[in-house]
Structure 1
Amino acid sequence: MARESGARFVVAILVLSLLSTPSLADDDAGTGGDAGDSSTAATSLPASNATYYGNLTSGDEDWYSIQMPNGTALAASLHGYSTSNDFDLYLYDSSGAAIDYSWYADPNENVSSNGTSIGGTTVTLWVDAFTGSGGYTLDIWVFAEPQGPPQDDAGTGGDAGDSSSTATYLTSTNQTVSGWISESWDTQDWYNISIPADHGIYASMSFPNGTSSNTQLALIESTATYYITNDYSAPYEVTSNGTTVAGDSVFIRIITPSPTSSTGDEGYYNLTISLFSTSGQPGSSQDDAGSGGDAGDTLGTALALNMTGNQSTFSGWVDENWDSTDYYSVDVPANWTSWASLSWGNSSADLDLYLYSSSGSILDSGAGYDNPETASGNSSSVGGSTVYYRVNDYSGFDVYYNLTISLANLSDTPAYNQNDANSGGDAGNDFATALNLTMANQTNSTFHGWISDSSDYNDYYAIQVPPSYAIQVNLSWNNSANDFDLMLYDSSQSLIDYSYYDNPESVQSGSTNVSNSTVFIKVESYQVSIWGSGGGEGNYTLDITLLNQSEVPGLNQNDAYSGGDAGDSIGEATLINATPVLSYWPGYADSTDDEYDYYVIYVPVDHGITVELDPGYTSGTWFTLSLYDNSNNQVDYDYYSNPQSVSDNGTGTLLGGTDAYIEVWAYSGDGEYNLSVWLFSLDADGDGYYDEEEYSCGSDPFDNTSIPADTDADGICDGLDEDIDGDGVDNANDTFPEDPSETSDNDGDGTGDNSDTDDDNDGWEDYDENSCGTDPMDPGSVPSDIDSDGLCDQVDDDMDGDGYDNNVDAFDQDPSEWNDTDGDDIGDNSDDDDDGDGFYDGVEEECLSDPLDPSSVPPDTDSDGVCDELDDDVDGDGTTNDLDSSPFDPTETTDTDGDGIGDNADPDDDNDGFQDYVDAFPLDVTEWYDNDEDGIGDNADTDDDNDGWNDTSEEDCNTNQFSASSVPVDFDNDRICDIVDPDDDNDGWNDTVDSFQFDPTEWDDLDSDGKGSNYMDDDDDGDGWDDLEELSICGTDPRDEFSVPDDLDGDRICDNEDDDDDGDGVDDVDDPFPRDPNESKDTDLDEIGNNADPDDDNDDWSDTAEVVCETSPLDGSDFPSDNDLDGTCDLIDPDDDNDGWFDAEDAFPLDGTEWVDRNGDGIGDNGKPLTTMDHMRLNPEITIVGLGMALSLVSAAVAFTVGRRRFGDEYFEDHEDSEYDDYESYGDWDDQY
């Protein structure tokens, strides 16, 4: 009943505590409540300048959102809270990313959009009370976002394009254009210009504000993929020299920051463009690969080559400055490959050769110092695709080269005609595709294969090893120049053994148990690398031997009667099904191959475990024993005993009801061991208390009615319990040691403190003292109550009783003051300057500033002591406000162009788009340049460069009207520039039909060879035949390029006068094929020339086969011998009788029914099988082993009979089937050998 009354009392106290907790009503930003507590619940505010008030408690947060109008930015200030508080302010964009924050400037945190464009988006402000509580003031300013000046790039009236797709087009003339660029507002200007035929381009940029590396001028090819050239510093210059851009367009890009810089520039630039003739410059008349022009400069423009055969040579030209790169493309048929060789005659030059795949990846390269350089696709899958060859001029001028490209059918190579291990194909190239091998007999077999360091690096084989067997593999090859490697892997594909440096190479399973598992064999010819040659290619032989290991103890284990080896880790522990009390378990361990044996055993509830290991620490063998719980924690161990012994008894860890783990560690040596396991009860009388505990508590462990006393039922008997009543206070310090509800009596009144409402007897109840912050256990510590209203100051909302709550009362202990606007500790009622801004409240009222806002002070722009509201000249510049264009700026009085910027600060006073420092006429809106400095602006000046040619003529003539050194070309000096003159040489022939527009003596060039037909050309029609020769000898028309003499062999002798028309060195009278240069002989008279005839003597053996087989391909009576008629002559046939045995191993190489003669009687074993004696003579070791086993069987039979009498029938009924049936296998020995 007493406990129930106490509980009710505590509940009552809690209710009163909740009811008396002070609370503050929030009115954040005038909403009448609390602002949102997250970004998604933020309180919306208007996008205008305003001041808001709010309240925070420690850990609280207020969120506000503002929808920003287009073209606006924002700043905010958080202030007006106590310096003892730590409030923070954050600004986020519409995605939730932080724009700005302020943490450490209490009590005045400030954030702004800092140049981040937020116009047209929603931003959020987060006010966070990191520590402390109280009110705050939030000021928000919304203002116009800064922008760049109005642009007129290249006279377009706006900004030039910002990408290649929006580039501003320029006319194909020499010109200078102006523009503006900025790191903040306009980072890129793109221009597109078409280049006339036979022309190149040069561009330079004047950029006074440009800094090195921060701005880039770039010339980019027409696909906007590659730079032609670029420049990062003044003078900014780019040119198309070294590339072919004629007849195409290019991009000019100006960018800041540049691709290599994080900071940029801002200002006006002038871009000057000059187009120059490429006629006559190096490389202007190329004929790469007979194309009549330059090979492509990129993969995308590569020149496609037409391969007329398996090998073709193409000529080309490169130059380090004018044309450094040529690209060619070649289509490679399926199952074919390609390679190339690059050579050149200029020994001082260095050319490189690269081979690319169809996707543009480099497959191979010759980029060293060789001549020729080579590149090959032999090791890559290039068949059925297009590959690219790139000739690169690393150094050298005017270099002519020859590029020889070859194609080959991979189907004709050994790599595509393999017969690894007689499989009819290639062995697998990885574990997943390994070729399965079947042993020809139980112990050894030989296999043959082929491998290559360029096309078949690896051959993988898999073989099943029988139970109780190990494996050894030898690898050999005949070609001493090759270097093959051999590796052996287990069934999990882990490396067992390897051999790299021998011939033969040899690997073994060794101590690794591979019995009854699959192993993998890897034959490798390591690949060719840039550091040297590879392993080569060729045939190899694998000799595989299986080794019987049935007598090795480590491979025939029966640990704990499991039928094998116990687990090698706790996770693989072998289960022991032991039952109380004692059981025995055998095992085997080896410090080399079987270091650990782990066992798991279930220990019954209320039981303990003891394990003994014999032997343990001996002179010949050192085994150790450890015991672990089911969390892998070691419970006990024994290292230096014999036998070793471990137990959970006395360790403090009881394993009953859980799995225990036993570890046997072969520290050194090997051998068999025995484990003895005891499972024993921990509670003899079954009363629920372990015997060890009853001994300690004084009860009888063998009497189940005698149990330890335990007052608090905590499982610790009272005799051992330091806290009998279980109240958490030890008996020595407990005033009420047997009362769990009481531990102390502070005032000694006999009532425990838990029940006593006034523990210190000072007249204030404990609850009130706790609420008021005094010590309820100290009678000298009592609450303060300033206004004596019966409420202590700590819980009194208005401790001075002036009608203002403490949280808003700046003087909560002074009833005559409650507000202190400027925080100077003088109440506003007494303070002449409430906001502490240095201005009396009366002055501020007269000057229209707020006397309660320290940020609102009377403005006095000129600091003359008269506030602006009363001042006739606000900025104090001597010009009255009504006459001053900038009445608030003492540095400005005049604004010529009326743009709102005074002339002193205006970079462009006349607002003509040109800043004053570059404007020759800064106050004349119609003029800005005076190129020739003649005092006449370029807009009004008809000859801007004063070179005697008016600007209109220079524009028509494509010369620079601003450069006196750039004047129109006028070949005939008729004052009509050549570009518009219809007859430049004034010979009466219009330039459009005049082949020599600058030679008044020539106008006709029938064959377009650059030589005039009037005087210079000996071959007018350009057909390669001299005009006189055509007329007088061959009777063809010298002015008709299609009328040429017949000349089959191209020896420049007409056929009607040529004794050997086809030029094959055999006169027509002796040549059966007088008009076929590839044929001059037909041995078998089948009207097929010997060169094309695959069988010149018509004996049904190809010429190639006869050469290989060493018979005459021109004698039909001389042909190869072929014993097995398989189409492969015996000379090269590895198996002449086609019986599956190579001749080198075949005792009867010409007899398809015989191949082995193991007894050497001259008769094949198939026709005359081996006798038993033959087997014994051929296998003496096995014969001796067999006889030994037979004797062992006799001995075992005798021992079995004697032993049966000693042990009785029951023992052998349990063991004879499982332990002795294996000997039946030896009955088949004679059949095997």
Structure 2
Amino acid sequence: MEMKYMAWKVRKIVSYLAIGTMLLAALFAMVGNVRADTEPNDSFAQAEQLTLSGGTVTVTGTLETNNDDYYKFSANAGEYITVTLSFNAANDFDLSLYDPSQSEIDYAWTSGVPEVCEAEAETTGTYYVGVFQWSGSGSYTLTVTLGAPPAGDGNNDFANATEITATAGGPIISQVHNLSSSDEVDYFKVKLNAGYGPGGVRADKLHVVVNTSQSVTLVGTIYDPFEYDVYFNYTQSASVSIQMHTVAYYTDYYYIELWNYYGSSFFEYTIKVWIETYQPWTNDSNNAPIHAANLNFVNNVATVSQTIDNETDPHDFFNLPLTVNPGAGTIDAVDINVVPPTGCDLYVAIYNDTDVLLDYNHAVGPLPVTLHFAATENLTYKLRLLASNGGSLVNPYTMTVTKQLEINDNDFENATLVTEGTYTENVNADGDTTDFYKVNLNPGEGVYARVTHNVPTGDLDLYGFNSTEYCVDFSWYNDQPEMTGNTVQQEFITIAANVSGFYYIVVDAYEGDIDYTLTITKFTWTNDNNNEFATAVSVSNN
């Protein structure tokens, strides 16, 4: 038996439940290619060869205390492997499937019967099966089948979501579906209604409960009609269900995503959906991107105070118009500071005009959420606040958005032209993270670049690039006193020119808000013309 016997035991995440039901192994011996195992087969090296007849083989074996059984079989690329382990339910046996490199590609370590592993063979070769004893002892039946991958159910994205028809105050709708390693996600949609008016007329509150008998990692998310997530939950245990809910703020379809996180083998789940009429209901009108509120900037500062609550008012949207001015070399940037109600888990996020998430941050109130964002194009961005948990319809949040101009030195194209000398600037790991500089060099010239700062907890990285924007030197740990013992926080690099052109120095903030000093010193060097493969000097051992 291999030493790793205990390792796989630790990974088991649910306790077993003896249900006293006997599965008759003899039923499996009535069909297919059936044989008994041959000992010893307690390791990969001793794995017993299985020969499939008609795409299947069944073998019977016995597990005692601290005993493993290994098998191997041949599979072609593209074949779908299904391994089923049946045994007396009073025992708890487990199953793993391995690829030709003996890396695990699926496992079934539950307390249920049977245990099933599935995977599509990525390469042609020898695949392995491990049968393990968690508790109890006795006989088992193992069946290996090769075939075509099972067809998916087709509801693998928003566009093809399966509709669940439910009505407010109506019965619970219960459906059974499945996921597998070849069908890892299911989408559903439910039509919800929201009334508008002072204080709200009514709103549908969607409830979702998902159960499975398998101990798999199943992730659930509810999305609004604009495909923004409004609720998230997950389970890793057969005894714990996923429970989610949201209140409609817009009349349209809301979506439910269920994701087989680890790509586990085939398992069934039950999804239950029902709708209740939620009253009273409030709506501050900016709960959708198309209803985003405009920010009122006075002297480049906009202040907002609104309520937000995960139950009835989960998120607020604001328009954030920002510009890039290539001629002036400047860009608009904003500093966002939001103080949420106590206990409110609040996210602040920036999206572009196609709803692509660009940046975000979050905190739990009353701690503030801060975010620095710089424009990359002329655009009206979307600023979103999401109460993922908690919130209050009585105590509002306070948001301050401060707009300023920044030097657009965040890439090679907009690098600041410098010469020999000293330059003082700022970078911030949570905002303007990077400064680009360029220096014009001829062959035989070079520069030493040294950056220093006096922020003990700050961490800067320094990079050098040649005229083709290829990194030729870097320094990224000398300014960490806890690692180096240095009292001066500094990084330094050397760049030598082989051809005429611009060479680049990049200062990057890894951690902290840092005022730094960059010192550039020129030098000359002799080019021996063997600095690349094409000009390598030929040598011999004569």
Q: Give me the TM-score of the superposition, normalised by structure 1.
A: 0.24
**Over alpha carbons, which structure has the higher Rg?**
1
More helix by share: 1
More strand by share: 2
